[in-house]
Structure 1
């Protein structure tokens, strides 16, 4: 990735202009200015995305890696041989020019070549393409008969399990067709339980079981691995026997997979399994009498109609483009995915771009060649920064649901995204990049939070292998899937490593890379949690990203304290953090968790005072630890936007006033004091956080017996807050007044004794909870709930769990036009009856879905 590599070196040069306490030196000015000028030109040159520069792209990328090695090595040598007060006291005189002359010479040569080509470069294919306004509904153009077939199969009465096998070529639109039926309101109403799971090529029955139970919301994200395959199967069977169910098994690759899974699905009225595959023999192996369905390519005028709707929407195709555009449609061989993908590329494109697209698709021999050609065009037309972000997603396994909260941090730490004239923060640029990839149908959204924001995603399976191959060609990263004590010899030029089977680096000699080892920039341990003590050798002095949450450290690894270039550090470690960690001046993300079985000490564990000097910090997650009290001269952490898992000791006015741009705060109270009200007094300080958007407070071990009455602290939130989650706080319902009037609050989660008291009487004139869309009540002792018309005007989802005493849901909820779903889990019959009455009363004005579940059914 030449563009990304240039950006990374420029970022390093920018950082050298602003020395911190541990970086009091100057690089030779003339060499640096020459390098910056040439790199700035190459950045603009590459941003144009010019075609036909593959040879130059490789030269730029390799030279940038060399430049970064020189700059980082010089800086690392300086910092590791100097004291915090400067190198002179140790008589260490750094040679900052070492290696720069050779790098400058190569960059000069490349810049000269680029300048010679630049005047002759044709306009690129959609240099910075707009995010296409498309709908996945377009993928079902011409599929009306197929849709009717599927719906009829699902609606037909049957006392036994019916399979619905579907097969067709890659990119034919099988998955999107089934998704349309799966989300159809009639089908949703008919099937009490629905689950969708992507079956990987290296099929694991246990992984499929875990995926099904997660889709059914029977186990949480990241859970299930501790259960045996037999336990998972029994649990799935209990859930499916409760009533009608619809299961989708997507991308099944061979008959043996169905043979291993078919016994999991019990007979029952309206029980269906849709099996999606590319192979006819797999579909036929799953047929139990209803027949199989082949999805055919679009024909006639359908491809042209679909392409027109994607590119021109309601406008006619310009006359000068029509002939070429029809060639593009014809060359897509009736594959909806190819048509929609190429349509996204060609929005607002000129005649030359259309001609390039038509020619690129002309010689495709089969569907696989066509899809690869379309993906190549789609990839080339992406903005340069988006290419790196996309390839990086291949570090995660195929069909793996990637959490955006982690993905965005890694993108930022790697330097792929940053703020610019279009985006005012790296996080906003990351979000814009993801939305572009989603709208291009390259990335699939797999989970959204209660208010509709994307929570997890993955690369579409059709695209995954293509981008994995592309990443390998560019030596972008290497995945280690076998247990080993060294890097494979052929990977010495790679900078990023994803380690699926936890690797054990015993010592430098076993690494087998000798002097090449320091070029490693990123290590991500993505394997299962290591259950035994594991020693990991970390002598990679240029490392920028270290994600080692899956590795158990029982002593703090001293090597980490020498990794002065680290931007992202994630560890699982129970002990004290050494003060030398504050020498890691470039840290953006610091995540230090405890082992699950670690006991939290009642004594407050603080980070060193010097942590306030780490001005680049954006994210701090410190389970069982706190920020230290600042001194009067401690600077503010202007860039810190997230602070998680800290106690109330990190929420004093002295600390909060030094976090002016904090957007997300998570407080975890392990052992509350006898005076619980004093522990919660920090809630009155939150208005100091003028940018706060998300707040979570969890009291882990509240003392219900001694507390007795509910608490009534001075609760106050800034008007910017959009999400609040409380658990174990024991607040009085009177405190709800401070929450109900928040103008931007969209999500409110009240769990396990968050509020204490049998009656919630919501008062207030006009609209109360004016923006709330999601409300969760869980494990509360509430009995009576009163609300008035005008309260909760935009509520769409109401979830009530384990509120055994609640007698009824206020009838006025039937007057909320936006309300779409009421979910009750382990509630009494009176509450369920009130929900059903709300549903019946609203029938003439709009549909409300009511789901009820009892955990007792899981054990039958």
Structure 2
């Protein structure tokens, strides 16, 4: 029965992957299909996880065989769903199994921003025009990339219609990539443009010609002419390869201008100097609004300028959003009260124009491969304007089972980084901070993309997100992920309404309160036996001790919880835990138990302050016949320096990131007396050093310490605080 469930799930995966290639007119049917599959798969997963939990809770069950009846209901449900899926597929005009990549590709063109001037594009236009009129004789490919709604089509149109471009090229051809793209249609569009502009008759017997004959006809009629072809909003390298073949190399300074939402496609077509569009600055955003609302003279009431710029800033430089908001403003009263309403309800206004705004971004989402969709939707887990650390995001993706095991031997973290890079390349996630090495440190999402995410997660029951003090509806039974982004969180009320099958709970709030107004006891979360992710981020002044009842959550893979004191030995019962995060500030008395060496699946231990990390010696004595160590641990942050011994490091041989906390002593004395033996850490990539500096003494030795540390480690970070020491660092940063 387990084999049947797995085989059916694999069949569903293949169906969903192929369903992406069906023409967009069937989108609603595909979403209905996904919903049926998701519900059946979740029920099967719940049944299996419940049986595992029962066995772990009562070890006597291990001696008994699992009865056929235990899984029969979910097997029958999966079988019924499979038949429904097959029946739904039969309704499509083209069977999924017969779809050929060459024939239909889901792509789309952004709706034109109309006749409105998009301010801030003049420099972009001049750069593209100069490139197109360059002296290079070979056929040059010029690419423009950027997120949906940023104005790529508008830029391409202004370039195409530019006076100098009109006189420079014999032929200017605009190729629109339609939603139901077929190569044949592209060939016909190009032939129509040639016939119209060159005033030649190509013939009308197109229906009698096959695709190869049409392609030859295009090449023949372009040969010898200096042409410009604009290929607008292309999605994949495969589509580009098929289109590229019909444009001949005439060695006469012909050009192709290509726009795309995917930076990888732009790099593939134009590896030399692809042009990446950026968001508008505040000044140009405000001019754009003025142009649409007040006309070219920009004659507006002075009292509206400040609030108008506030609205422009909230649009975050995206022309598509600005266009929608400006259209709304043009129909409202030009009063301070009306415009204040717009600033307070901008997200709702954008969401009320799905065809103009969210629908455009939905095209990017629908075109994503299935393995990237949950990663993208997970960005709705974070509050507005939140900058999420890359390492935190990746750990959550792994904990949620969004990351597939790589056949190439890459680690889960490496695969997750590839996923993130892919989403960034598609301009769906933005880079907010980079490390000095160029690595992505933090990322975020444009507000309009987040708004789309929030809409999509609710429609698909992927997650329930509440950003006000929550009163959760009881009918949310099909949702397994819950997210609360409130200033205060009334835990008891909400936990009573969450289904016991909840798998992920995220809390972003200032404080946790019970009904009585006091700090809540975190034991309330122990009733969720299927829970995989419990991420609690709050700022209570006095963090509680580690809640013992949480150690019973056998399926837990990610735990972020603010607490203090010694963690209990019973936490070793969390056998599936991969990430432990204790986000505390300053110094505390956190102490990890010796039993932590039995938690074999741990990958990341991150404690905000210094803590005691046990030696494996005592556990080796207690468990002579069991291997002691954490073979999967790749990140350890930030144990006391005194705990960093070769004995500890030998038991975590695959460690890649190590953050060490040094007590308030002179660092030079510490280095002179006992260097850390890191010979066991063959895979170490980064060392981060936290120290309470004895500033005056240590400053005298800064050059020596920089040289000693810099020569020994691949990366070294020094964290300091206090104006005196910061001045010392600033004066010596060039040597550092």
Is TM more than 0.5 here? yes
CA contact (8 A) 1:615 1:637 kept: yes
- Alpha-carbon deviations, 1:108-145, whole Å to 9, x = none? 23335556749921437799999xxxxxxxxxx99997
Question: Which of 13, 22, 25 is matched with 1:43 structurally?
Answer: 13
> In the alignment, is residue 379 of structure 1 matched against residue 365 of structure 2?
yes
Q: 2: CA distance between counterparts of 1:606 and 1:96?
A: 43
CA contact (8 A) 1:35 1:104 kept: yes
1:42 to partner: Cα distance? 2.6
Q: 2: CA distance between counterparts of 1:142 and 1:549?
A: 41
Q: Which position in structure 2 is the counterpart of 1:497? A: 482
Q: 2: CA distance between counterparts of 1:306 and 1:449?
A: 43
> In the alignment, is residue 550 of structure 1 matched against residue 538 of structure 2?
yes
1:667 to partner: Cα distance? 0.5
Kindly report which structure 2 residues correspond to 1:421-432, keeping only aligned pairs within 5 A, or say none.
421-422=407-408, 424-432=410-418
> In the alignment, is residue 103 of structure 1 matched against residue 32 of structure 2?
no
Q: 2: CA distance between counterparts of 1:620 and 1:128?
A: 47
Segments of structure 1 that go 5 or more residues without pairing to the other structure are 1-30, 131-140, 152-169, 178-294, 312-316, 329-337, 352-364, 711-729, 755-776, 782-799, 811-821, 823-860
Q: Which position in structure 2 is the counterpart of 1:526? A: 508
1:573 to partner: Cα distance? 0.9
Q: 1: CA distance between counterparts of 2:173 and 2:563?
A: 55
Q: 1: CA distance between counterparts of 2:638 and 2:695?
A: 20
CA contact (8 A) 1:652 1:682 kept: no
Question: Which of 727, 730, 734 is matched with 1:801 structurally?
Answer: 730
CA change 1:323–1:343 in 2 (3 A) is farther
- Alpha-carbon deviations, 1:569-593, whole Å to 9, x = none? 0111111101111100000100124
Q: Which position in structure 1 is the counterpart of 2:648? A: 655
Q: Which position in structure 1 is the counterpart of 2:529? A: 541
Question: Which of 352, 367, 386 is matched with 1:400 structurally?
Answer: 386
1:102 to partner: Cα distance? 0.9
1:608 to partner: Cα distance? 2.2
CA contact (8 A) 1:618 1:641 kept: yes
Q: Which position in structure 1 is the counterpart of 2:271? A: none
CA change 1:451–1:433 in 2 (3 A) is same
Kindly report which structure 2 residues correspond to 1:834-845, keeping only aligned pairs within 5 A, or say none.
none
> In the alignment, is residue 635 of structure 1 matched against residue 622 of structure 2?
no
1:646 to partner: Cα distance? 0.9
CA change 1:373–1:578 in 2 (3 A) is same
Question: What SS does the corresponding residue of 2:610 show, helix, strand or coil?
Answer: coil
Kindly report which structure 2 residues correspond to 1:139-288, keeping only aligned pairs within 5 A, or say none.
146-147=122-123, 173=150
Question: Which of 571, 589, 592 is matched with 2:579 structurally?
Answer: 589
CA change 1:658–1:557 in 2 (3 A) is same
> In the alignment, is residue 732 of structure 1 matched against residue 720 of structure 2?
no
CA contact (8 A) 2:687 2:717 kept: no
Q: Which position in structure 2 is the counterpart of 1:266? A: none
Q: Which position in structure 2 is the counterpart of 1:321? A: 186
> In the alignment, is residue 434 of structure 1 matched against residue 406 of structure 2?
no
CA change 1:145–1:545 in 2 (3 A) is closer
Q: 2: CA distance between counterparts of 1:450 and 1:459?
A: 22
Q: Which position in structure 2 is the counterpart of 1:472? A: 458
CA change 1:541–1:300 in 2 (3 A) is same
Q: 2: CA distance between counterparts of 1:462 and 1:326?
A: 39
Q: 2: CA distance between counterparts of 1:326 and 1:752?
A: 67
The alignment yields a C-alpha RMSD, in angstroms, of: 4.7
CA contact (8 A) 1:126 1:345 kept: no
CA contact (8 A) 2:9 2:41 kept: no
Q: 2: CA distance between counterparts of 1:582 and 1:688?
A: 25
CA contact (8 A) 2:175 2:186 kept: no
1:671 to partner: Cα distance? 4.5
Q: 1: CA distance between counterparts of 2:391 and 2:591?
A: 25
1:456 to partner: Cα distance? 2.1
CA contact (8 A) 2:390 2:441 kept: yes
Q: 1: CA distance between counterparts of 2:421 and 2:173?
A: 22
Kindly report which structure 2 residues correspond to 1:769-808, keeping only aligned pairs within 5 A, or say none.
779=726, 801-803=730-732
Question: What SS does the corresponding residue of 1:801 show, helix, strand or coil?
Answer: helix
1:640 to partner: Cα distance? 0.9
Q: Which position in structure 1 is the counterpart of 2:34? A: 57
Q: 1: CA distance between counterparts of 2:238 and 2:456?
A: 22
Q: Which position in structure 1 is the counterpart of 2:270? A: none
Q: Which position in structure 2 is the counterpart of 1:567? A: 557
CA contact (8 A) 2:555 2:576 kept: yes
- Alpha-carbon deviations, 1:746-792, whole Å to 9, x = none? x65456599xxxxxxxxxxxxxxxxxxxxxx97476xxxxxxxxxxx
CA contact (8 A) 2:176 2:231 kept: no
1:526 to partner: Cα distance? 1.4
CA change 1:71–1:419 in 2 (3 A) is same
CA contact (8 A) 1:541 1:564 kept: yes
Q: 1: CA distance between counterparts of 2:356 and 2:468?
A: 34
Q: 2: CA distance between counterparts of 1:127 and 1:753?
A: 61
1:445 to partner: Cα distance? 1.8
CA change 1:753–1:88 in 2 (3 A) is closer
CA change 1:325–1:618 in 2 (3 A) is farther
CA contact (8 A) 2:175 2:189 kept: no
CA contact (8 A) 2:511 2:539 kept: yes
Question: Which of 454, 464, 473 is matched with 1:488 structurally?
Answer: 473
1:66 to partner: Cα distance? 0.8
Kindly report which structure 2 residues correspond to 1:701-712, keeping only aligned pairs within 5 A, or say none.
701-702=693-694, 710=701
Question: Which of 160, 163, 176 is matched with 1:301 structurally?
Answer: 160
CA change 1:373–1:127 in 2 (3 A) is farther
Q: Which position in structure 1 is the counterpart of 2:570? A: 580
CA change 1:172–1:386 in 2 (3 A) is closer
1:555 to partner: Cα distance? 2.8
Question: What SS does the corresponding residue of 1:644 show, helix, strand or coil?
Answer: strand
CA change 1:699–1:108 in 2 (3 A) is same
1:503 to partner: Cα distance? 5.5
Question: What SS does the corresponding residue of 2:614 show, helix, strand or coil?
Answer: coil
CA contact (8 A) 1:651 1:682 kept: no
Q: 2: CA distance between counterparts of 1:339 and 1:469?
A: 31
Question: Which of 47, 58, 62 is matched with 1:70 structurally?
Answer: 47
CA change 1:340–1:443 in 2 (3 A) is farther
CA contact (8 A) 1:525 1:551 kept: no
CA contact (8 A) 2:710 2:716 kept: no
Q: 2: CA distance between counterparts of 1:542 and 1:378?
A: 33
Kindly report which structure 2 residues correspond to 1:752-767, keeping only aligned pairs within 5 A, or say none.
none
Q: Which position in structure 2 is the counterpart of 1:123? A: 99
- Alpha-carbon deviations, 1:259-306, whole Å to 9, x = none? xxxxxxxxxxxxxxxxxxxxxxxxxxxxxxxxxxxx899358369989
1:79 to partner: Cα distance? 2.3
- Alpha-carbon deviations, 1:619-643, whole Å to 9, x = none? 0013332332113454332211110
After superposing the two structures, state which structure 1 stretch, 31-40 or 498-507, moved more: 498-507
1:342 to partner: Cα distance? 4.5
CA change 1:501–1:322 in 2 (3 A) is same
CA contact (8 A) 1:600 1:670 kept: no
Question: Which of 610, 614, 627 is matched with 2:595 structurally?
Answer: 610
TM-score by length of 2: 0.61
Question: What SS does the corresponding residue of 2:157 show, helix, strand or coil?
Answer: coil
> In the alignment, is residue 697 of structure 1 matched against residue 689 of structure 2?
yes
Q: 1: CA distance between counterparts of 2:708 and 2:653?
A: 26
Q: Which position in structure 2 is the counterpart of 1:831? A: none
1:323 to partner: Cα distance? 3.7
Q: 2: CA distance between counterparts of 1:389 and 1:127?
A: 29
1:339 to partner: Cα distance? 8.2
CA change 1:465–1:128 in 2 (3 A) is farther
Q: Name whichever structure is richer in helix by fraction.
A: 2
Question: What SS does the corresponding residue of 1:624 show, helix, strand or coil?
Answer: strand
Q: Which position in structure 2 is the counterpart of 1:415? A: 401
CA change 1:636–1:737 in 2 (3 A) is same
CA contact (8 A) 1:643 1:665 kept: yes
